[in-house]
Amino acid sequence: MKPEFWETLGLTFRLAAVTTLLLLFIGIPIAYALSQSRSRIKPFLEALISMPLVLPPTVLGFYLLLAFSPESFLGTWLENVFGIRLVFTFTGLVVGSIFYSLPFMVQPIQSGFENLPENLAEASYVLGKSRFETLLKVQLPNIKPSLLTGIVLAFAHTVGEFGVILMIGGNIPGQTRVASIAIYDEVEALNYTLANQYALVLIAFAFSILALVYGINRRMLKAMR
């Protein structure tokens, strides 16, 4: 296989790893806040976070492209103040992937928080623990299956992204050309052999990661009973 093949796969999994790590730190506070909220605007916030689940990826990618464009106020400000260019860069792919994969991290974790018995947190508060200590030492350890599900879904979803990546990243080898873009590109060039190699790697990855998470979650749930 050509070096470009491994370079593209490496970029794909690096994007997924960076996105998932950032989503974990972003998603836990959001999921916790939503699980604790009794506000009337909660359904609207949940709907906003869940939009990528129903929107065509090209719609989100189009608006992100407009927002990140050097001609836009945000794009100009980021480039002039911080020297950050988001269109057709790896950094832009990460930011776009965070928006697109956010519900895959938030929803499982929020569900885990909401299904925890309330007396766990109450007992921790009675013992003098703060909300942060309770979250860190009591609640998070008791939703490990939900955390794992969120991590795996966000990672796998980012690996399979196409529309958002194409809109804001294009197809630059070594910079923004991920596996899903490469498959499309090779099919257009009638290079079905290479497209098949990319596709088989992604199929094997998807099956392996899902089988692993189901197996681990099953053992975790048994241990917690």
Residue 114: predicted pLDDT: 92
Residue 209: predicted pLDDT: 84
Tokens of 110: 């929020």
CATH number at residue 109: 1.10.3720.10
- Domain boundaries, position 186: 3-224
Spatial CB neighbours of 210, under 8 Å, sequence gap ≥ 6: 152, 156
Would you give per-residue pLDDT tens digits along the chain (225 residues)? 677 889 999 999 999 999 999 999 999 999 999 999 988 999 999 999 999 999 889 899 999 999 988 888 888 888 888 888 888 999 999 999 999 999 999 999 999 999 988 888 888 888 888 888 888 888 999 998 899 999 999 999 999 889 899 899 888 888 899 999 999 999 998 999 999 999 999 999 888 888 887 887 777 766 666
Residue 223: predicted pLDDT: 67
State the pTM of this model.
0.89
Q: What is the full DSSP assignment across 190-213? A: T-HHHHHHHHHHHHHHHHHHHHHH
Spatial CB neighbours of 68, under 8 Å, sequence gap ≥ 6: 74, 75, 78, 86, 87, 92, 95, 168
Neighbours of 98 (CB within 10 A): 19
Residue 101: predicted pLDDT: 94
Q: Give the largest Cα separation in the chain, rounded.
A: 66
The radius of gyration of the chain's CA atoms, rounded to the nearest angstrom, is 20
Q: How many structural domains is the chain composed of?
A: 1
Residue 214: predicted pLDDT: 80
Residue 1: predicted pLDDT: 63
Sign of the CA dihedral running 186, 187, 189, 195 = positive
Residue 210: predicted pLDDT: 83
Residue 17: predicted pLDDT: 95
Residue 44: predicted pLDDT: 95
Q: Is 169 exposed, middle or buried (0-12, 13-18, 19+ CB in 10 A)?
A: buried
Nearest CA to 158 among 2, 11, 58, 12? 12
